[in-house]
Amino acid sequence: MQKNTFGYGSLAGGLLAAPLVALTGLATSLLGFGFPPFLLFNWSTRVLPGPLVTFGIDLMIDTLRFLRIDVANAAKSAEQAMAVLFFVLLAILAAGIVFAMFSRQQTKPRVTSGLIVGAIAALPFIAIDFSYSQITVSPLVEFSWLVLVFLAWGVLLSMTYRRLSTADRETMPVEHKPGAVERIDRRQFLITLGLASATITVVGTGLAAVISTGRRSRQITEQPISDQGPPLPNTNDPILPAPGTRPEYTPLEDHYKVFIELQPSVIDGDTWTLPITGFVDNPLSLTLNELRQSFNAREQYVTLSCISGRIATTLISTTRWTGVSLQEILTVAQPRPEARYLHIRSADGFYETVDLDLINTDERIMLCYDWDGKPIPVDHGFPLRIWIPDRYGMKQPKWITSIEVSDQYKPGYWVERGWDEVAQVQATSVIDTVAVDSTFEREDQTLLPIGGIAFSGARGISKVEVRVDAGEWHEAQLRSPLSKTTWVIWRYDWPFQSGEHTFEVRCFAGDGTPQIAAERSPRPSGATGIHSVTQKVPSREG
């Protein structure tokens, strides 16, 4: 042990970290306390330099793509797993250092040393919890719990150290072959510790899983059972999507999700109010009911996309948004003449600035409370989020908690981290399907449907073109979109040839501007480039 205190410390640290994660996780699902691995991770993504965070996200997305895992669905789970892993690694490292420090002292560590170690370890978590996260329970109770588990961790660490080094001394062989007895004793102790740790971890994790599954199913059953919703405005359009095209209206549960923290913010809609303060003559504090009832409801089919998506990203979805025009709300709030910007803040610490001039020229900009005719799901910003046409998601806060009208500009969360200040959506077109199993005959030709989407924010799509093997561009047919602010479904029926082919698509915005063909990475202004798909087309039977 004397020779390898750091190694033994790391081992003990790892063994003790697992039950620490399990127990705090259990308290999180039972009582809603902050979960130390997530607290640390959320905090670090916020304070680390933007480029580093972007690098980390890119690395994760690349890994997921390399493993052929759907980024939109798996990114959060991957991040959460990473947070736990970081925490455990940190605990291992810390325990190694603590053991090395213990070994330098003249006397064996006592309980007080363990308590000091625990208290020091607890400190950063309390600080983070206090400054960043929204504490749902009484802070005193939550902090006491955190202190308690870390103190226990420290004391167990010091006890483990004593136990392992006692094996050294009691069997300290002066005159005969050293090592054998002490090693067996130490091994037995470590096995016991490992088993105890594994038991607590398994029981704790299992209970936490059962509790959160129960809670989730309750949440789902509490949702009002919805009908199919109104018929889509383009049901009679004769141009049908090519088989294999993504759904034109994204099922709510499939809508992509992006948020900065490891978990969505949970807000109580009954007690939530929206303060509108600052440079206004009539400061407001609106409840959800007031927003719903005292203003005119507007409805809009919206395609939302994330600036960090690459060409043909899955981080794009379409649903129906309901809300109130910000113009109407501001008519009541009465901005003063000096007012220039709205500073919007969210429950998760996200923030964005909206130019008042933009609001004044676009009545569609709205504060939204419904998606798909139902309150916005928790993951997507319940109870209120903003919609700004033609902008990437990064400009559009969810979980809005306050709006302050100001004469000062202030960069938003992702702008501060190096992303585009305006974040206007780049025109993009994607091939969803080369429907080799759906060939059909028309006028003596056998045609192969190719199809997908094209999107250009609020600028509309005037034309989509497809080419095969770098040949001529052929104009595709456009289905009328759900609205002027959604993607457009296109299809091109190709008089096909068998063999392996490369298919490419490009689009033109409403005013005829072609999509940017040059390949550019998402950062800082959104990805550009031509989507291409290479596929084998089997020869026709018969």
419 binds ligand MTE (CB under 6 A): no
Among 122, 394, 423, 509, indicate the residue that binds ligand MTE (CB under 6 A). Answer: 394
CB atoms within 10 A of CB 353: 20
258 binds ligand MTE (CB under 6 A): yes
Among 87, 256, 369, 455, indicate the residue that binds ligand MTE (CB under 6 A). Answer: 256
DSSP single-letter state for residue 149? H
Distance CA 331, CA 309 (A): 36
Distance CA 245, CA 530 (A): 18
Chain positions 384 to 403 lying near Mo ion, rule: CB under 5 A, are: 393-394
Q: Please report, for residues 165, 223, 339, 519, the alpha-carbon distance to residue 404 in angstroms, rounded to integers and kept in the order given.
A: 60, 32, 10, 39
Q: What angle do CA 60, 66, 68 make, to 5 degrees?
A: 105
Query: Whose Cβ is closer to Mo ion: residue 10's or residue 456's?
Result: 456
**Partner in contact with 491, chosen from ligand MTE, Mo ion, none, beta carbon below 5 to 8 Å by kind:** none
Binding mask 321-360 for ligand MTE (x = CB under 6 A): -------------------------x-x-x----------
Q: Which of 425, 324, 457, 342 is nearest to 384 (CA)?
A: 324
Q: Which of 306, 426, 324 is nearest to 385 (CA)?
A: 324
Stretch that binds Mo ion, among 94-102, 183-191, 258-266, 458-466 (CB under 5 A): 258-266
526 binds Mo ion (CB under 5 A): no
Distance CA 323, CA 400 (A): 13
| Count of residues engaged in binding Mo ion, rule: CB under 5 A | 4
- Write down the least CB distance from residue 318 to ligand MTE, Å: 11
Among 72, 126, 302, 306, indicate the residue that binds Mo ion (CB under 5 A). Answer: 306
Judge whether 308 and 433 are in contact, CB under 8 Å: no
101 binds ligand MTE (CB under 6 A): no
Task: Give 354's contacts (C-beta < 8 A, 6+ positions apart).
Answer: 326, 341, 342, 344, 365, 386, 388, 395
365 binds ligand MTE (CB under 6 A): no
Query: Whose Cβ is closer to ligand MTE: residue 190's or residue 260's?
Result: 260
Query: Whose Cβ is closer to ligand MTE: residue 95's or residue 128's?
Result: 128
* Backbone φ and ψ of 491, nearest 5°: -145, 150
Burial of 379 from C-beta contacts in 10 A (0-12 / 13-18 / 19+):
middle
61 binds ligand MTE (CB under 6 A): no
- Write down the least CB distance from residue 259 to ligand MTE, Å: 4
329 binds Mo ion (CB under 5 A): no
Q: Which of 33, 30, 20, 35 is nearest to 211 (CA)?
A: 30
393 binds ligand MTE (CB under 6 A): yes
**Where along the sequence are the contacts to Mo ion (CB under 5 A)?**
258, 306, 393-394
Binding-site ranges for ligand MTE (CB under 6 A): 255-260, 304, 306, 346, 348, 350, 380, 393-394, 396-399
